[in-house]
């Protein structure tokens, strides 16, 4: 079955060019010219990868990426961002929002195709952890069905926020998240939650599951950026 690639760009010529080359490569091309249409197609057609322009009219590409990542069904959907801007800050913002790769316009079509193949290979090599029934790493076990957590066979009692935080991080080991991202993904639309609240719950989680909270092996701090679960590979 052909992989479905959703192209989101307000420039029809670019969409046509990418679509033509994707079809030649054996992909099925889906088209959207604005963010709202893209989100509807993501839900309706379940693409295997999204090529997303940063500078869309109305809903910007970063916002589209954020909405895609908020959905549990699409947390691991591969996204390659396109933009006419070359500033480093745009690349960082795109990657922080959850993009898997980044290409600056004007781009070489062959390079884009190569990147699509590479991102899809990585996605297939790391199957969606949401389908797994449990997570295990260095004595830590999290049963996603029952929400039971144990370390070295000893059951650990966690509060609801710590459970959600641990579940999210263990589903994305090795990936760094800022405080604001964790607020979006874990706390969702709860109001009046400060970014420092994340630090409080990370600390509680470490006290509960780490052998030494000052030298954690599971929940790691990435200085100046945020937190991640240890890379399990």
Residues 66 and 108 reside in one and the same domain: yes
Contacts of 19 (CB under 8 A, 6+ apart): 7, 29, 31
Q: Which two tokens stand for residue 28?
A: 């099925």
Residues 112 and 163 reside in one and the same domain: no
Residues 8 and 109 reside in one and the same domain: yes
Residue 27, domain extent:
4-125
Residues 182 and 217 reside in one and the same domain: yes
Nearest-angstrom CA–CA distance, 8 and 105: 14
Please, where are the H alpha helices in the chain?
A: 12-24, 35-45, 61-70, 88-96, 109-125, 160-171, 179-182, 196-209
How many domains are there within the chain? 2
Q: How confident is the model over 165-221, as pLDDT tens digits? A: 999 999 888 888 888 888 877 876 555 678 889 999 999 999 999 999 999 999 999
Nearest-angstrom CA–CA distance, 161 and 141: 18
Residues 10 and 112 reside in one and the same domain: yes
90, 125, 160 — which closes off a domain?
125
Q: How confident is the model over 206-217, as pLDDT tens digits? A: 999 999 999 999
Residue % of the chain over a pLDDT of 70: 89
Nearest-angstrom CA–CA distance, 36 and 34: 6
Residues 28 and 119 reside in one and the same domain: yes
125, 152, 183 — which closes off a domain?
125
> The domain that contains 50 carries what CATH number?
3.40.50.2300
Residues 37 and 111 reside in one and the same domain: yes
Residues 172 and 84 reside in one and the same domain: no
Q: 12: pLDDT confidence band, cut at 50, 70 and 90?
A: very high
148 has which bridge partners?
143
Residues 118 and 184 reside in one and the same domain: no
Nearest-angstrom CA–CA distance, 219 and 216: 6
65, 96, 125 — which closes off a domain?
125
Residues 121 and 180 reside in one and the same domain: no
* Summary mean pLDDT of the chain: 87
> The domain that contains 144 carries what CATH number?
1.10.10.10
Residue by residue, DSSP assigns 150-190 as: EETTEEE---HHHHHHHHHHHHSTT--EEHHHHIIIIITT-
Residues 154 and 176 reside in one and the same domain: yes
Residues 94 and 184 reside in one and the same domain: no
Q: How confident is the model over 101-153, as pLDDT tens digits? A: 888 888 899 999 998 998 888 777 655 544 568 899 999 999 988 889 999 99
């Amino acid at each position: 079955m052909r992989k479905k690639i959703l192209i989101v760009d307000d420039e029809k010529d670019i969409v046509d060019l990418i679509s033509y080359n994707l079809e030649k490569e054996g992909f099925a091309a889906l088209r959207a010219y604005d963010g709202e249409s893209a989100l509807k197609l993501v839900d309706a057609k379940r693409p295997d990868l999204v090529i997303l322009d940063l500078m869309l009219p109305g809903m910007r590409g970063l916002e589209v990426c954020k909405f895609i990542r908020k959905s549990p069904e699409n947390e691991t959907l591969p996204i390659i961002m396109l933009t006419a801007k070359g500033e480093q800050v745009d690349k960082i913002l795109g990657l922080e929002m959850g993009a898997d790769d980044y290409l600056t316009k004007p781009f070489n079509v062959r390079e884009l195709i190569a990147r699509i193949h590479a991102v899809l290979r990585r996605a297939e090599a790391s199957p969606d952890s949401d389908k797994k029934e449990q997570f295990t790493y260095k004595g830590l076990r999290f049963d996603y069905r029952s929400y039971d957590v144990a370390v070295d066979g000893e059951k650990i009692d966690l509060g609801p926020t710590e459970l959600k935080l641990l579940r999210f991080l263990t589903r994305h080991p090795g990936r760094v998240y800022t405080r604001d991202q964790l607020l979006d993904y874990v706390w969702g639309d709860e109001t009046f939650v400060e970014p420092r609240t994340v630090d409080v719950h990370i600390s509680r989680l470490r006290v509960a599951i780490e052998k030494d909270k000052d030298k954690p092996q599971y929940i790691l701090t990435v200085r100046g950026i945020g937190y991640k679960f240890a890379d399990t590979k």
